[in-house]
Structure formats: C-alpha cells, structure tokens
Structure 1
Amino acid sequence: MFFTLAFVSLLIERLCGYPQWLVRAIGHPVIWIGTAIGWLDRRLNRAEQSFAQRKTMGAMALLALLTAVVTVTAAISWFIGTSLVALAILAVIASSLTAQKSLEDHVRAVADALDREGLTAGRKAVSMIVGRDPDQLDEPAVCRAAIESLAENFSDGITAPALWLGIGGLAGGAAYKTTNTADSMIGHRNERYEAFGWASARLDDLVNLPASRLTALLFVLACFFVPGSSARDAWKTVWRDAGKHRSPNAGWPEAAMAGALGLALAGPRVYGGTLVPDHFMGAGGRREATASDIRKALKLARVADIMMIALFGLLAIASEAIARA
C-alpha cells in the first residue's frame, strides 16, 4: 500500500498543491516541524557547552523529534486503517510532504519577473528560493540560481519524500521531511550550528542519497522529450562533475541539469556575505544563463515529474500484485 500511497499523493499534489488558504488557517507540516526545531534549538544549543556536548544535544534533539513525528504519523495511519477511503485520506495528508506545484510556481516566477520587470524583480523572486545574497547577483546569476534551486529541490523536495513515502508510508515520508527541515534550519557549517546541527546534516546526506541519483537519471531521460536538451551531455556531466560538488547529493541533479542545458552551474557563491568555494557543474558550459533557460529547465523538470509519477504507479501495481499473490 505504501507505493500506492506515494503515487496517489503525488497526483494530488501535482494537481492541487497545498492551498494557501489552508496555510493561513492551520499552517503547513514543514512550519510545524520548523517551530519544534526552533524551540529545541533555543533550549538545547548553548554557547557555553563544549563542541562535543552540543553535538550530543543536537543528535538527541533530532532523535526526540523523529520519535515524536514517527509515533504520531504511525498512529494516524493505524487509526485511519487500510480501506480505499483510508488510502484517500492518507494520500491527502501525505501530499503535503511533496512540493511539485509550489517549486514549479516559485521558479517560474523568477523567469516571469525577469521578463516583465527586470533584474530587481528577478532578484526579489529568486530570494524566495535560494539562500545566497540576491544583491550580489547579475541577471545570468539570478537565472543560474533559479535553475540550481529547481534541480536540487526537485530531488529533496519531490523525489526524496515520495521515495520515503513508498518505503515507509506516511511515517517514512514524515520522518524524511523532519530530517530535511532540520538540515535546512540547523545543518549549517557555522559557529552556532556546526556541532548542534551535525547529526541533522549527516542524516540528511544519507537519506537523500538514493533520491539524488534517481533525480539525475530522470533528468537525463527527460532530455529525450525536450527539444534543445542533450541526454548525452547530461549523462557525461553527471559522471564527470557530480562527485566534485561540496554536497554529496546536490551535485547529481545539478550536474544533470547543467549538461542537459549546456550550462555551467554551481561554482563559487556568496552566502551571508561569505564566498563559498565550489566546483562547477558542467565546466566549459555557458555561464550567461537566461530566462529562456529557466523555462527550458522547467520543461525538463515537468517531464521528469511525469516520469516519476508513472514509475510510482508501476511500483504501486507491482506491490499490489505481489501482496495478492
């Protein structure tokens, strides 16, 4: 039933997204998880403690949060049951864990802002999806940032939660989302979080490993259906450049996207006023990315998303057949 749950939840989120009126009314699971992480951070991450103590406290905080989330979501799944109606209810809940529609909308907004209002509007739009300093970005850099965000967030915002929903049901998907949210909030290599966020960052690297490879493969395959993109170059770039990225996972989808579009993505970037060195994905490609490149990247992502939904549909059929055998 887990792969069926993942398949149906992907369809629901693809078509409907997470309604803004619902966000205003009750918030979003990521907001709830983020609130809990912030509370734990304020109470357990103390500057007067040693590095080892803060590292231990961070690991304990993550373990406690994961235990609570898994317990609650497993209880919800058990209470709802296994009927078709139960599956529909669980799928609606699980659809909040993926971000197909919202990611596409946010990335498209960058291209639209650049085309209609220029660089200032493009910087504002891209600041909603990346952590780097927008004022440091010229127009090609804004476009590259949007494309990089699309590639990386497709992996950890769509493929990974769907995969963990298929593996562990609602509890598995919620546990993944908790880990990923913790990493985005406290998994930073700075004075405050290098120790406290160590466990969150390492676990996030681990649980995102299969999804990042699958996403790269989906991008390569999607090239066959998007004119002007190159599956051959995407494949070559993944094998040449993915392992050079400072992240063990982000390099895979970014390298695939860079090769597909003939761009040079990643490279040195500025976060919080600090220059962060990194290798280029698609070294030798164009750095002068445009809004048209953003739109082509969106087409690739849309095709890859359709492929992924179809894959989960096949897995759902296969798992149901095995269960009945």
Structure 2
Amino acid sequence: MFFALAFLSLLIERLVGYPDWLFKRIGHPVTWIGSLIALLDKKWNRESDSFSRRKMMGVAALTVFFGLTALMAGLLQTWLLLLPLGLLIVALLGASLPAQKSLEQHVEAVAIALERDGIEGGRKAVSMIVGRDPERLDEAAVCRAAIESLAENFSDGIVAPSLWLGLLGLAGGAGYKAINTADSMIGHRSPRHEAFGWASARLDDLVNLPASRLTGFLFILAACFVKGASPRNGMRAVFRDARHHRSPNAGWPEAAMAGALGFALAGPRSYGGQMIEARFMGEGGRRDLIAADIRRALKLARIADALLIGLFGALALVIAL
C-alpha cells in the first residue's frame, strides 16, 4: 500500500505541484515544521549554556519535532484510510512532500534569466537556490551552481521523501521532511548551531544515504535516453569522485550527473566571503557551462523523475499481486 501511496503522491505533485492559492491560505508542511523548529531553537538553544548541554537540548528538540510530526502524520493516515477513497486522500497529503515542479521551476528560472538578462539576471536567480556569494560567480559558475542544486535537491527534495513515504507511509515521509527541514535551519557549523544542530545534521546524513545512492543510479539510467549523455561515464564518475565530496550524500547525484553529461561540477566556491576548497565531480569534464547545459541537466532530471515514478508504480503492482 505504501509504494502505491508514493506512486500516487509523486504523480499528483508532478501534475499539479503545490498550488500557490493553497500555500497562501494554509502555508505548507515545511513552514509548519519550520515554525516549531524555530520556536525550540529560540527557547532551548541558550548561548549561556555549555556546549554539551546545547548538544543535549538539540537531541531533545529533534526528538520532539520529529516524533510529533511522525506521530500526527501516522494517526491521520490511519484515520483517513478507513474512509472511502482514503488512499487517494492520503496521497493528496503525501503530494505536499516531494518538490518536483518547484525544483524544476527554480532551476529553469536560472537558465531563463541568463538568456534574457545576462550574468546579473543569472546571479540573482541562482541566489534564490544556493547560498554562495553571487557576485563572485561568472556565467559558468552560475550554471554549475544551478546544476549542482538540481542534482542535490533531486535527491533530498524528491527521491528521499518519496522513498520514505513508500517504506513507512505518511509518517515516514513527514518524519523525513522534519529532519531535512531541521538540517537546513539548524544543521550548520556556526557558533549558534554547531552544538544544537549536531543531532539533526547527523540524522539527516543517515536518512538521505539510501536516496542519494538511488538518485545516482537513476541519473545513470536516465543518461541512456539523453542524446550525447554517457551512462558509463556517469558510473565511473560516481565510483571515482563521489567519495571526495564534502557531503557523504551529495557526491552521488552530483558525480552521476556530471559524468553522464560530461560536466565538471562542485570544485572551489565562496560562501560568506570565505573560499571553500573542494574537488570537482566529473573530473576532466567541461567547466565552461552555459544556459543550454542547465536545460540538458533538466532533461536528464525529468527522465530520472519519470523512472522514479515508474519504479514505485512497478513496486506497488508487484506487491499488490
């Protein structure tokens, strides 16, 4: 049943996304979770406390917002499944968890801005999806940033929530979203959050591990259907480069996309005026990327998305039989 739920949720979100009118009226599950995380951060993350106590309070906060989110989602699912068309109703709720349409729109906006408004437009558009210093980015760096964001967010914004939805139902999908939202809000190595966000960051690494591997292989398989792409080079890049990424998970989708399309992604980048040294994913690939390369990456991601939907549909059918 849960893989059928994941299949239907992905299909619904792929077709209609999360409507703006609905967001304006009730917000989004991520904003609800984020409000709770922000409240606990304000109340429990006291700068006067010791490092170890702040770390302990971060574990307690994670237990509260993860447990509360998963429990409420699980209870709601149990009640709704008793109703006629209950699975479809739960799938409508589950469709709020993956972000296929919004990710595609934000990344495509970078290509459109580059083509229409040049480098300044591209910098402004890419600053909406990455945290790098936009004024230091040339056209190629803007394109690389957009494609890297596409690869990484395809994994933790689409594959991961739908995978946990398929494995553990609405409780799994919503619980994953709580962990991922916490990582984005408090999982930073900053003076305020290094201790308090430690547990959230480590758990996020763990729950994203299976999805990042699956995403890498989806990109490699999708390369079979993109003219000029190479699944073999995608596979080579994954096993050669992914382990060198600063993230234990992001290297898999980035290396797979880079190798498959012949790009060099990642590498040195600047955050908050500080240059971060990092190895390239897809070493030896092209670095002088243009807006058309963003569109090629989007094409690969769309095919990978179709493969993901097909995978969950096939699993649901096999289990039903």
Is TM more than 0.5 here?
yes
Q: For 2:142 and 2:313, how far apart are their aligned partners in 1? A: 36
Structure 1 vs Structure 2 CA RMSD: 0.9
Instruction: State the partner residue of 1:251.
Output: 251
What is the CA distance between 1:277 and its match in structure 2? 2.2
Residue 145 of structure 1 pairs with residue 145 of structure 2: yes
> Any unmatched runs of 5+ in structure 2?
none
d(CA) in 2 for partners of 1:275, 1:264: 18
Distance change >3 Å, CA 8–CA 285, structure 1 → 2: same
Matching residue's letter, 1:230:
S
8 Å Cα contact 2:77/2:90 also seen in 1:
yes
Task: Give the distance between the partners of 2:123 and 2:22, measured in 1 at CA.
Answer: 28
Equivalent residue number for residue 118 of structure 2: 118
Deviations 1:252-311 (A, max 9, x none): 000001111211111121112222222210112111111111000000000000000000
Check whether the contact 2:10–2:98 (CA below 8 A) recurs between aligned residues: yes
Q: Where does residue 104 of structure 1 map in the other structure?
A: 104
* Separation (CA, whole Å) in 2 of partners of 1:96 and 1:73: 12
Deviations 1:166-225 (A, max 9, x none): 011000000000000000111111211111100000000000000000000000011110
Say whether residues 1:4 and 2:4 are aligned partners: yes
Give the deviation of 1:83 after TM superposition: 5.5
Q: Give SS of 2:85's match.
A: helix
Query: Is the 8 Å Cα contact of residues 81 and 90 (structure 2) preserved in structure 1?
Result: no
| 1:134-186 CA-partner distances (Å, limit 9, x unpaired) | 11111110000000000000000000000000011000000000000000111
Q: CA deviation at 1:238?
A: 0.4
**Partner of residue 309, structure 2:** 309
Q: In the TM superposition, what are the counterparts of 1:99-248 in structure 2 within 5 Å?
A: 99-248=99-248
Unaligned runs of 5+ in 1: none
Secondary structure at the residue paired with 1:195? coil
The percent of aligned pairs where both chains have the same amino acid is 64
Structure 1: 4+ residue segments shifted above 4 A: none
2:278 aligned counterpart, secondary structure: coil
Counterpart Cα distance in 2 of 1:237 and 1:317: 33
- How far apart are 1:241 and its partner, in Å? 0.2
- Asked if residue 81 in structure 1 is aligned to residue 81 in structure 2, the reply is yes
- What is the TM-score normalised by the length of structure 2? 0.98
The corresponding residue for 2:61 is: 61
Deviation for aligned residue 1:84: 5.7
Larger CA deviation: 231-240 vs 128-137: 128-137
SS at match of 1:96: coil
- Give the Cα separation in 1 of the matches to 2:158 and 2:44: 31
Q: Which residue of 2 aligns with 1:38?
A: 38
Worse-superposed segment, 134-143 or 149-158: 134-143
In 2: Cα distance, 1:281 partner to 1:252 partner: 9
- Map residues 252-271 of structure 1 onto 2, 5 A cutoff: 252-271=252-271
AA at the equivalent of 2:96: S
Normalised by the size of structure 1, how large is the TM-score? 0.97
Q: Which moved more, 1:144-153 or 1:268-277?
A: 268-277
Q: Partner of 1:118: helix, strand, or coil? A: helix
After TM superposition, give the deviation of residue 82 of structure 1 in Å. 4.6
Q: Residues of 1 paired with 2:84 and 2:111: CA distance?
A: 41
Describe the superposition over 1:44-101 as per-residue Cα deviations: whole angstroms up to 9, x where unpaired: 1111111111111001000011111111111111111255610111001000000011
SS of 1:97's equivalent?
coil
